[in-house]
Amino acid sequence: MERYIYKAVEKIKGQKVFSMPGHKNKEIFDFNMTSDVTEVIGTDNLLDPEGCILNSEKEVAKIFGVKDSFYMVNGSTGALQVAIATATNPGDEILIQRNCHKSVYNALVHNDLIPHYINAKYNKKYNLITGIELDELEEKLKNNNIKAVVLTSPNYFGLCLNLEEISKIVHKYNAFLIVDEAHGTHINFTDNREYSAVNYADFIVHSTHKTIPSLTQSSILHLNTEKFSRNDVLKRINLYLSTSPSYLLTQSSEFGIDFMEKFGYEKLKENEKNILKLKNDLKGKVEFFNGDIEDDTFVYYDRTKILFRIPSLNGFEIVESLFLRYNIRLEMGDLDYALALSSICDEREDFEYLKGALEGLSQISSEKSKEFNFVKEINPEIVYSPREAFFMNSKNVLLEEAEGLVSSSIIAAYPPGVPIVSFGERITKDIINDINKYIKIGIEVVGINNGRVEVIA
């Protein structure tokens, strides 16, 4: 057969990588295909670990200072679903940060949960989504019977919530705190460890593949409450995970953590200097976000994320131009910003190369106008519960004709996969306009096929 996938990947090899995975496609692993084994004599069973996997998980838990850790082979997607399935029972109410990843919304369907939402705030001056307000969090917990709260910290752009205060509020109302720290595993190997969710949450999710050197799809779930046992979590892991979990993935998470323990602290400090130099050298040409803004909805900004904008180009144009002209792969571009991810695997010459390319780009001007103030708080009209909506009869209609209808799927801009509309929510004129803006500039929107969306019949 034609090897389409192979060819596509071959074509983008050799790029400078400022996106995931954290290993940056550099040859740093000390294992290879000969390590692709299964449960045989001498190995262990991820779904019921008793040997090498258990020993490794125990050491991981010690490193992160949590009660228990579990290797996952279905990304943070799987880890979030296991965490939510452990913390809740069908019919429970759950409070979700509206800009959570779509895997959290999918868990609402799996577990038949009733969602309440809290919006992250929109900082108009910087045209950025920041964190949540604590008063609002408390209000929602006071007025509803919430079993679990799911928050994202750091967010895609590196902003970390005040989890110390948040955990006090959540626990005051006897709810469980699940923190999606998919983008923040590395914070635990820096002087800023105090901002990591491992210190405060009951469940913490780490996409090892995103920010430390491990293979795509590898991740870890940590349990940090006495209210659930290791077996409670393993029971759910058995519901969700393959019976042939990849030893390449589990080994790569183990490798990544070992690597970070050995070299993370020093190397990330070195990167910090290189990033600072890049920012200083590009002053006046590129506008970098440094987190130094007046906004009390977040407490720390993770500077391994290089978030920037160039006045003459929108974020997507930056991503496209760096790809086509400079062979650089960025993580994301939206209507305004572009995001470059750094990791322990970057070297000084990588930052120098990025600097040269950005210098070049800053001289280009675009025909397209930039969009500002596009980000809105989403306060959806929930017509049916996510599970109800998912199983109702549906039909496909043109997006333009969907105003007033109820969605039976998720529509999300990708990356990072934050839903604009979820199961059972009414589609409004504003939502249609937002989706059209994303599509117009070339951002991928999942949940739309040939201009059609799935709605309840």
Ligand X SMILES: Cc1ncc(COP(=O)(O)O)c(C=O)c1O
Across the strands, what pairs with 329?
A: 17
| Number of residues forming the site for ligand X (CB under 6 A) | 15
Stretch binding ligand X (CB under 6 A), from 7-15, 136-144, 302-310, 415-423: 415-423
DSSP at 30 = S
Q: Is 188 in the site for ligand X (CB under 6 A)?
A: no
- Report which secondary-structure segment, H or E, holds 339: strand 338-341
Estimate to the nearest angstrom the gap between the alpha carbon of 420 and the chain centroid. Answer: 16
Give min distance, CB of 415 to ligand X, in A: 6
Estimate to the nearest angstrom the gap between the alpha carbon of 312 and the chain centroid. Answer: 28
- The answer to whether residues 212 and 186 touch, using CB atoms and an 8 Å cutoff, is yes
Number of other residues whose CB lies within 10 A of the CB of residue 227: 11
Structure tokens at 381: 């009209």
Beta strands at 68-72 and 128-129: parallel, antiparallel or unpaired = unpaired
Q: Is 331 in the site for ligand X (CB under 6 A)?
A: no
Q: Is 417 in the site for ligand X (CB under 6 A)?
A: yes
Number of other residues whose CB lies within 10 A of the CB of residue 5: 8
Pick 156 or 316: Cβ nearer ligand X: 156
Q: Is 75 in the site for ligand X (CB under 6 A)?
A: yes
Can you tell me the distance from the alpha carbon of 279 to that of 342, in angstroms, rounded to the nearest whole number? 13
Q: Which of residues 126-165 bind ligand X (CB under 6 A)?
A: 152, 156
Q: Is 360 in the site for ligand X (CB under 6 A)?
A: no
Residues 6+ apart with CB under 8 A from 121: 129, 130, 131, 132, 133, 295, 297, 377
Q: Is 44 in the site for ligand X (CB under 6 A)?
A: no
Beta strands in 131-215 (DSSP E): 146-152, 159-160, 176-180, 203-206
Residue matched to tokens 């400022």: 18
Stretch binding ligand X (CB under 6 A), from 69-77, 89-97, 171-179, 328-336: 69-77
Q: Is 180 in the site for ligand X (CB under 6 A)?
A: yes
| Residue nearest to ligand X according to CB distances in the complex | 75
Give min distance, CB of 182 to ligand X, in A: 4
Q: Which of residues 94-113 bind ligand X (CB under 6 A)?
A: 101, 103
Of 19, 86, 162, 219, the residue at the interface with ligand X (CB under 6 A) is 219
Of 245, 264, 333, 416, the residue at the interface with ligand X (CB under 6 A) is 416
Give min distance, CB of 77 to ligand X, in A: 3
Q: Footprint of ligand X on this chain (CB under 6 A)?
A: 75-77, 101, 103, 152, 156, 180, 182-183, 207, 219, 415-417
